């Protein structure tokens, strides 16, 4: 009987420990958008991606040099048709 009480306390502590660690891991893992370790936030100024805002005020993130044609948008995770217009 004494062993069952001790076992019950140990099991309650282990359940508490697992739930607490799970909550901490979930809280620290939800910290915004990212692409391969690079944050994509409103307040982040990316130096790897070029941010382009189209005529409808939608922002897009492209890698390297911007050119006319099909380019991969890292924010929308799809190829998009890009047309460069010189000002």
What residue ranges do the domains of the chain occupy?
A: 1-31, 33-87
- Please name which of 29, 85, 36 lies closest in space to residue 61, comparing C-alpha atoms: 36
Say if residue 49's pLDDT is above 90: no
Q: Look up the pTM and report it.
A: 0.43
Q: What is the pLDDT of residue 18?
A: 96
In this model, does residue 30 exceed pLDDT 50?
yes
Classified as helix, coil or strand, 49 is: strand
**Percent of all residues in the chain with a pLDDT value above 70, rounded to a whole number:** 78
Find out whether 34 and 46 touch, Cβ atoms under 8 Å.
no
Q: What average pLDDT does range 49-64 have in this prediction?
A: 86
User: Taking CA 72 as the corner, what is the angle to CA 71 and CA 78, rounded to the nearest 5 degrees?
Assistant: 120
Q: How confident is the model at residue 38 (pLDDT cuts 50, 70, 90)?
A: low
Paired sense of beta strands 38-39 and 34-35, if any = antiparallel
Please give the mean pLDDT across all residues of the chain.
81
């Amino acid at each position: 009987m004494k062993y069952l009480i001790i076992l019950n306390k140990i099991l309650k502590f282990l359940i508490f420990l697992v739930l607490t660690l799970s909550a901490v891991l979930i809280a620290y893992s939800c910290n915004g958008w990212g692409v391969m370790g690079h944050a994509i936030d409103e307040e982040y100024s990316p130096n790897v991606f070029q941010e382009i805002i189209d005529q409808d005020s939608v922002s897009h993130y492209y890698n390297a040099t911007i050119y006319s044609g099909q380019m991969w948008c890292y924010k929308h995770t799809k190829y998009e048709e890009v047309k460069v217009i010189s000002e």
